[in-house]
């Protein structure tokens, strides 16, 4: 049959009526990303490039799925014989309880961004964590274990990043969140990684802080890498999560957001004289690791990178 591209954006309603909606789509859509918002996602670009490279006869599409549609959306994916899914904001944490099984590391992180369908079961994985580590090495030529890191956010993406920092034994980890309670909870879960003998003077090695200018200002001198793991910056009109005047030239700035190229946080970082990168590198590596999870073979990372 003639190739017919999948639509740019499907909805929950489309899933309910899937066979009819995709009657003319060839090859069939058997992978996708669920999110809200999700229209900006570049996952289809990299995944479809990988599928074509390996001559796997299926397509990857974008699905606008609201929080109250997630459980049924996953059920449809199973019934429609999908191979796998990616999950993004705001589904990564809730989805943990909506799948049939969760990989050990993902369970530890408390969030999943990848679902694989195996023998009719939905299995959850987290590829954000390792992808973050690879992205930081690629962008700044440093290892997490040598860094003092501040993570902005305590949601799904932040949990993966903070846990990876803990597992790699980073020098210091500070978690800032609008809802302090969630940052406190995350800190408690990571305590086991920070009991070692390293001494850093007067500042705590592991700490939750409030989302406030004074708290940011106090921390910056004792931080090397600041990571935005909130969705702030997804909208073109968003401010930088931390204003440029609070940043400093010694910092590395990493924004998990990649919408519109130079994000507000990246712009603020550069304005402050710091090195800064957006989330394309993390997107690429989490996608490559997801591909590997679904198909059990090496992802064509360079092909995927070129697709970006």
Q: Which residues bind ligand ATR (CB under 6 A)?
A: 89-90, 92-93, 153-158, 177-179, 182, 211, 229-232
Pick the closer one to ligand ATR by CB: 29 or 150.
150
Tokens read off for 305: 């990178």
Q: How far is the CB of 215 from ligand ATR (least distance, A)?
A: 13
72-111: burial string, b at 16+ Cβ within 10 Å, e else: ebbebbeeeebbbbbbbebbbbebbebbeebbebbebbbb
Q: How far is the CB of 19 from ligand ATR (least distance, A)?
A: 31
112-121: burial string, b at 16+ Cβ within 10 Å, e else: bbbbbbeeee
Helix or strand holding residue 176 (H, E): strand 172-177
Pick the closer one to ligand ATR by CB: 59 or 88.
88
The answer to whether residue 92 is catalytic is: yes
The CA distance from 258 to 286, in Å, is 14
* Three-state secondary-structure class, residue 159: helix
Pick the closer one to ligand ATR by CB: 186 or 223.
186
Pick the closer one to ligand ATR by CB: 73 or 156.
156
Q: How far is the CB of 67 from ligand ATR (least distance, A)?
A: 9
Q: How far is the CB of 180 from ligand ATR (least distance, A)?
A: 8
Q: Cβ atoms within 10 A of the Cβ of 181, count?
A: 10
Pick the closer one to ligand ATR by CB: 188 or 298.
188
Tokens read off for 172: 């210091």
Q: How far is the CB of 169 from ligand ATR (least distance, A)?
A: 23
Catalytic residue among 2, 3, 45, 92: 92
Residue nearest to ligand ATR (CB): 155
* Count of helices and strands (H, E) across the chain: 12, 13
Please enumerate in sequence order all residues whose Cβ is within 8 A of that of 153, keeping only pairs 6 or more positions apart, or say none: 176, 177, 228, 229, 230
- CB–CB of 299/274 below 8 Å? no
Phi, psi (rounded to 5 degrees) for 175: -115, 120
Residues recognised as catalytic: 92
């Amino acid at each position: 049959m003639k190739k017919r591209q999948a639509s740019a954006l499907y909805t929950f309603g489309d899933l309910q009526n899937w066979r009819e909606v995709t009657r003319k789509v060839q090859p069939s859509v058997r992978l996708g990303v669920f999110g809200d918002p999700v229209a900006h996602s570049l996952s289809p670009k990299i995944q479809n490039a990988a599928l074509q490279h390996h001559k796997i006869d299926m397509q990857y599409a974008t699905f606008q799925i609201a929080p109250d549609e997630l459980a049924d959306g996953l059920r449809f994916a199973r019934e429609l014989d999908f191979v796998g899914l990616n999950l993004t904001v705001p589904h990564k944490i809730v989805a943990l309880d909506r799948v049939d099984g969760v990989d050990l590391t993902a369970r530890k992180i408390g969030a999943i961004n990848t679902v694989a369908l195996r023998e009719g079961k939905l299995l959850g994985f987290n590829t954000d964590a390792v992808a973050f580590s690879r992205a930081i090495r690629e962008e700044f030529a440093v290892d997490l274990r040598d860094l003092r890191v501040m993570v902005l956010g305590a949601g799904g993406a932040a949990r993966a990043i903070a846990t990876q920092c803990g597992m790699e034994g980073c020098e210091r980890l500070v978690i800032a969140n609008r809802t302090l309670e969630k940052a406190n909870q995350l800190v408690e879960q990571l305590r086991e990684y920070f009991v070692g003998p390293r001494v850093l003077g007067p500042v705590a090695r592991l700490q939750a802080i409030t989302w406030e200018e004074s708290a940011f200002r106090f921390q910056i001198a004792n931080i090397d890498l600041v990571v935005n793991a909130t969705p702030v910056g997804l909208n073109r009109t968003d401010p930088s999560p931390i204003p440029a005047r609070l940043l400093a030239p010694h910092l590395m700035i990493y924004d998990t957001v990649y919408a519109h190229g130079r994000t507000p946080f990246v712009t603020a970082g550069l304005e402050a004289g710091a090195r800064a990168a957006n989330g394309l590198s993390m997107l690429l590596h989490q996608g490559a690791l997801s591909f590997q999870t679904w198909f059990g073979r090496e992802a064509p990372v360079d092909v995927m990178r070129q697709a970006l």
